[in-house]
Structure 1
Amino acid sequence: MKKIAYFLSMLMLLTAIAPVAIASDKPADKEPSPEEQARLEQLDERVKEIKAMDFKAMDKEERKEIRNELREINKEAKALGGGVYISAGALIVILILLIILT
């Protein structure tokens, strides 16, 4: 029984810590600079323009170009935006601690 408890506790620990170790080196607390914020707004406007387009009137090649452009916009926005991510294991541990401590 002790082996199972030990195994499960290590599994929970690794599940909670692994995504943090894999995350990018960019600090999550960093706010985007005014230039980055302006670029994010430009990307957002372009996405809105693309969503307003009529795809049925386009041929296959044009739709493919738009799809590739959206993928590039998504990659660039993720690189500029950063963010904070919590793994499922960490979320479960936090909830259990909140339940136990209250």
Structure 2
Amino acid sequence: MKITDQACHLLDQLLEDEEASCLRLFFAGFGCGEPDIGLTLAEPEADDELHHINSIPVAIDQRITHLTNELIIDGKQTMEGPKFQMFGLPEKDC
């Protein structure tokens, strides 16, 4: 998994502003027969895997760790605030 420098700067500021401990990737249900990944600022849960990626503390739900190997998180600042995108997820057949 990679976090781009742009996303890193945005996440670092958000973690400080929200007084959150880490970025958490979690199982967010199924879409088209494949697991969906959710992204939030939250405390890690008991069965999460903990990592530091590009200086960002990241907790990953064990049910989706196999989906995050090639994942890239990018971000940009918009008029509505920071927006993040995930790339490198497996293709879904819908």
TM-score where L is the length of structure 2: 0.23
The structure carrying a bigger strand percent of its residues is 2
Structure with the higher helix share, 1 or 2? 1
Which of 1 and 2 has higher RCO (CA within 8 Å, sep 6+)? Answer: 1
Whose radius of gyration is greater, 1 or 2? Answer: 1
